[in-house]
Amino acid sequence: MLTSAPAPEYLPGVTPLPLDPEWWRGAVIYQIYPRSYQDSNGDGVGDLAGIAERLPHIASLGADAIWISPFFTSPMKDFGYDVSDYCDVDPMFGSLQDFDRVVARAHELGLRVMIDLVLSHTADVHPWFLESKASRDNPRSDWYVWADPKPDGTPPNNWLSVFGGSAWAWHPGREQYYLHNFLASQPDLNLHTPAVQDALLDVVRFWLKRGVDGFRLDTINFYFADRYLRDNPPLPKEMRNDSIAPGVNPYNHQLHLFSKNQPENLDFLRRFRAELVPYAAAAVGEVGDAQRGLEIMAEYTSGGDKVQMCYPFELLQPSRATAQVMAVTFDRLSRAAPDAWPCWSYSNHDTVRHVSRWHLSNEATRAYATLLMCLRGSVCLYQGEELGLPEAELAFEDLQDPYGIAFWPEFKGRDGARTPMVWENSNQAGGFSTGKPWLPVSPTHLPLAASAQEGAVGSMLEHYRAALAFRRRHPALRIGAQSPMMAAGDVVGFVRIGGGEQVFVAANLGEGTAKAVLPLGEWRAAGQGLGVGVPEGATEISLGPWQICLMVKSD
């Protein structure tokens, strides 16, 4: 466990929030997709100045932190997840000074700032790759994963790209293949090379000195590939899972035993965590694995010397998180990682919005929002989730996502979750821009605009505010332990314990009426407006469709 650290080093003018090594525990983190949050200059693309303008909305929601998806210099073939300069801002988003203003404004509002670091790969126009590909003997020749072809000229092994096809691309200059787990324009860094690790940790320090409070680590389990480049084994059909890639993608036909999830990652994560300690910064890792997500999370968060949190894909699955799914997930978590601190989310920039993915009514959406705020762990909310936005339907000619273009129409890509935030319904751009938005605003989103829901009794926005406030009021929900989760039919129930109190939660995640057994003891109803009333002395309660019972007692 890391317990002491030197004083943090900030750039002049940076005003950090008070150092709190545990700020992340139980935090609600609001994800901003910068292209689509707020456009301040009318070019149709969101920017950092727009984010600064809209931060009061996030603060009023009751969030603790923001996570900003990549805004670094990039050719934008994967919309910022292909970085060409880790230490600068792409001009479409503004400047480093604009970023500094975002941090300053966020800190004024009591919000911590996390940024999205993409450490597994770069853009193919990054200076590191330009040098690496120039020859086999230059100083950065081994900074990326290069391999000779097989004798017949084919790729060195059978690894597949998440975005389809082989994970290897041929480079005629070196007469070698390079690894790309994503687009061919996103070559994978070789973290087996110590100098690569050093360079990436320099990036971490650069942003910590600018006042960031933490990082979201993209594809955290892809940092290392097997140094012997062994073939991945096939995955039996009954074990395939399309939470990482759509079912039409052959990526699902392999068990990715050697192309990711390598043991060397643990030592690198220890080096990374040591950089965070002086700043009391935190990190949440994205574990992209369909078979062993919870187990990998246990490895990466154990011991207090790696990352604080990971979010697995169990609640990002295509199928709805029923009571049984919830219970099984938390049972697996308790066995695989009893001390791990997960970060749960239903939606993000890579998945179909959960309102559409799970075919939720307004009542069901509210129930899942309340339940999310009661789970042990931290929480990520994706922009627009608080408005109840469904997935946007886009025409093929409007698509920007290369993933969707490649697999259309069987898979429509990620653009439907990335359309602009709707702030008002007075114009077709939803108050996002005075110009033409880079993706069209969905007509189904306009009636759900923030201005239309602000202060409206029963609106989704006000429900989320109430749910976040409930979580904030009860330390058991933020930092407490959780009893084994029990499922009976459509009802899931558990108790959170901590901070001198206990909170009982029973949620009917179904369309019918169901009974829930109430715990014995001196409990009182809690969460007014979020949960149903409980008759005094009752030993069970009838829950209507999507109703939740919330009760609290002091230890």
Q: How many helices (H) and strands (E) does the chain have?
A: 13, 21
Distance CA 230, CA 287 (A): 22
Distance CA 33, CA 50 (A): 12
- What average pLDDT is seen over the chain? 95
Active site includes 391? no
Q: Catalytic pick from 116, 218, 275, 385?
A: 218
The whole-angstrom distance between residue 298's C-alpha and the CA centroid of its chain comes to 17
Whether residue 2 is predicted with pLDDT greater than 60 in this model: the reply is no
pLDDT in tens, 193-210: 999 999 999 999 999 999
Task: Give pLDDT, residue 4.
Answer: 61
Distance CA 233, CA 221 (A): 18
pLDDT in tens, 289-312: 878 888 899 899 999 999 999 988
pLDDT in tens, 97-124: 999 999 999 999 999 999 999 999 999 9
Q: Assign domain 28-122+194-472 to a CATH class.
A: alpha beta
434 vs 535, higher pLDDT: 434
> Phi and psi at residue 339, in whole multiples of 5°?
-100, -5
Q: Name the residue type at position 495.
A: V
| Bridge-based pairing state of the strands 491-498 and 486-488 | antiparallel
Task: Give pLDDT, residue 507.
Answer: 98
| Bridge-based pairing state of the strands 146-147 and 176-179 | antiparallel
Question: Are 300 and 269 in contact, with CB atoms under 8 Å apart?
Answer: yes
Whether residue 417 is predicted with pLDDT greater than 50 in this model: the reply is yes
Q: Catalytic pick from 47, 124, 275, 286?
A: 286
Q: pLDDT tier at 243 (50, 70, 90 boundaries)?
A: low
Question: What are the domain boundaries of the chain?
Answer: 28-122+194-472, 481-554
What is the mean predicted confidence (pLDDT) over 544-551?
97
Percent with pLDDT over 70 in the chain: 99
3-state SS track over 336-396: HCCCCCEEECCCCCCCCCHHHHCCCCHHHHHHHHHHHCCCCCEEEEECCHHHCCCCCCCCH
Q: pLDDT tier at 555 (50, 70, 90 boundaries)?
A: confident
Q: 28-122+194-472 and 481-554 share one CATH topology?
A: no
Question: Are 547 and 520 in contact, with CB atoms under 8 Å apart?
Answer: no
311 vs 73, higher pLDDT: 73
For residue 243 the two structure tokens come to 């939470």
| Bridge-based pairing state of the strands 309-311 and 176-179 | unpaired
Question: Angle at the Cα of 365 (from 361 to 369), degrees rounded to 5?
Answer: 170
Distance CA 548, CA 525 (A): 11
Distance CA 371, CA 379 (A): 11
Active site includes 90? no
CA distances for 10 relative to 53, 205, 210, 274, angstroms:
24, 10, 6, 16
Residue listed under structure tokens 């979010």: 311
Q: pLDDT tier at 1 (50, 70, 90 boundaries)?
A: very low
Q: pLDDT tier at 426 (50, 70, 90 boundaries)?
A: confident
Residue 285, classed as helix, strand or coil, is strand
What is the mean predicted confidence (pLDDT) over 230-235?
96
Edge-first strand order for the sheet with 176-179 is 146-147, 176-179, 168-171
CATH topology of domain 481-554: Immunoglobulin-like (2.60.40)
Q: Name the residue type at position 126.
A: H
> Phi and psi at residue 155, in whole multiples of 5°?
-55, 155
pLDDT in tens, 351-372: 999 999 999 999 999 999 999 9
pLDDT in tens, 264-284: 999 999 999 999 999 999 999
Question: Are 459 and 470 in contact, with CB atoms under 8 Å apart?
Answer: no
411 vs 438, higher pLDDT: 438
